[in-house]
Amino acid sequence: MPLDLDDAVAGFVAGVVGTLLGYPLDTIKVHQQAVAAHAGPRPSLLAAARQIRAARGLAGFYAGVLVPLLGVTALNTLSFTLYAHFRVALGLPPRAPPGAVAERTASGELDARVALAGGLIGPFASLISTPMDLLKIQMQQQRHASTLGAAREIVCTGGARAMYIGLPVNVLREVAFGACYFGAYEVARGAVAQTGAPPPLAVPLAGAIGGVCGWGASLPFDTIKSVQQAGPVRPGCVRDARQIARDIWAAHGARGFMSGARASMLRAMLVSGTRFSAYEAALDAMRARGARARLAAGGGGGGEQLAAPSRGEERRR
């Protein structure tokens, strides 16, 4: 079954927009998580922001942004493309019309295949996000002068395998995130659409809900991964994920696994709401353009007549 180029392009646009908007909050989250496995008070969101600004200025909030800008864009392109692919493989529409989704999910019931399609992305996404997060976190911890220098030093110190420090726990994180992220989005999009809310409100609201649910489910795994990737990368010095979990529990209890939750949730609402809006808008534009091109190639000469139903469908959203 071929992958859909429209979904890939829409995912690319969503990745760029979401990364630039949400990166400062991600830097704050990582700063909070870096102390999660140690005893002592954890900095609040505002305290962490003040510490970052005092140490590195405003530019510190975008330390290491190049890797996520490239990596998250690739990750979103892959994720949205695979999500549409797995929907079809599981017997669901590739991207169901909003009305169909609303009829299926407005009652609050989630077709398990939707969550499964999102969860199946996890192992593939982790192949991109693991080295990307490692470089990002190492840069955010000021361990290296440049991203390229960080990659070179990590490989020279621990070999190519060192770029995948944290992979096992990251697979769990990506599976949990994908299942809840896309599952909650589809439920929310259908429920909000049934209220008659216009698309400019319904899509970002559903995206924000999906983001909060996805991060809420995956944050414990993310905390363990961040602590592991923030440490040394030399062979024999990489901390064991299970030991990190025990240390977090001993130092802070269950709350320790939700370190950076406030920054994560704020970022999730902002980024996911914007990301899904960008994705849906780009996907509609790509498909409308393709439809006009097919009509023109067929000699119909009625591109404008074809565009009107697309706008009407958008109003129904």
What distance in Å separates the CA atoms of residue 178 and residue 235, rounded to the nearest whole number? 31
Residue 217: predicted pLDDT: 95
Average pLDDT, the chain: 80
Residue 4: predicted pLDDT: 62
Contacts of range 231-239, beta carbons closer than 8 Å, 24 or more positions apart: 233/134, 233/138, 233/154, 233/157, 233/158, 233/162, 233/165, 234/157, 234/158, 235/157, 235/158, 235/159, 235/162, 238/158, 238/162, 238/165
Residue 316: predicted pLDDT: 38
The letter for the amino acid at 290 is G
Per-residue model confidence as pLDDT tens digits over 246-261: 999 998 899 889 887 8
What distance in Å separates the CA atoms of residue 158 and residue 307, rounded to the nearest whole number? 55
More confident residue, 112 or 286: 112
Instruction: Judge contact between 23 and 62, C-beta under 8 A.
Output: yes
Domain range 5-316, its CATH number among 1.50.40.10, 1.10.287.3510, 1.10.150.20, 3.40.50.720: 1.50.40.10
- Calculate what percentage of the chain has a pLDDT beyond 70: 82
Q: How many CB atoms lie within 10 A of CB 313?
A: 15
Residue 99: predicted pLDDT: 41
Per-residue model confidence as pLDDT tens digits over 60-95: 888 777 777 788 778 888 888 899 899 999 998 766
How does DSSP assign 142-161, residue by residue? T--SSHHHHHHHHHHHH-GG
| Res. 240: pLDDT tops 70 | yes
The letter for the amino acid at 316 is R
Q: Does residue 177 come out as left (phi exceeding 0), alpha (psi in the -120 to 50 range) or beta?
A: alpha
DSSP annotation of 141 reads T
Domain residue limits, the chain:
5-316
Q: Specify the range with the lowest mean pLDDT, choosing from 9-13, 23-27, 232-236, 302-306.
A: 302-306
Per-residue model confidence as pLDDT tens digits over 124-169: 999 999 999 998 888 877 667 788 888 999 999 888 999 999 999 9
Model-level pTM greater than 0.85?
A: no
Place of tokens 């509609």: 284
Per-residue model confidence as pLDDT tens digits over 288-313: 777 777 788 875 544 444 444 443 44
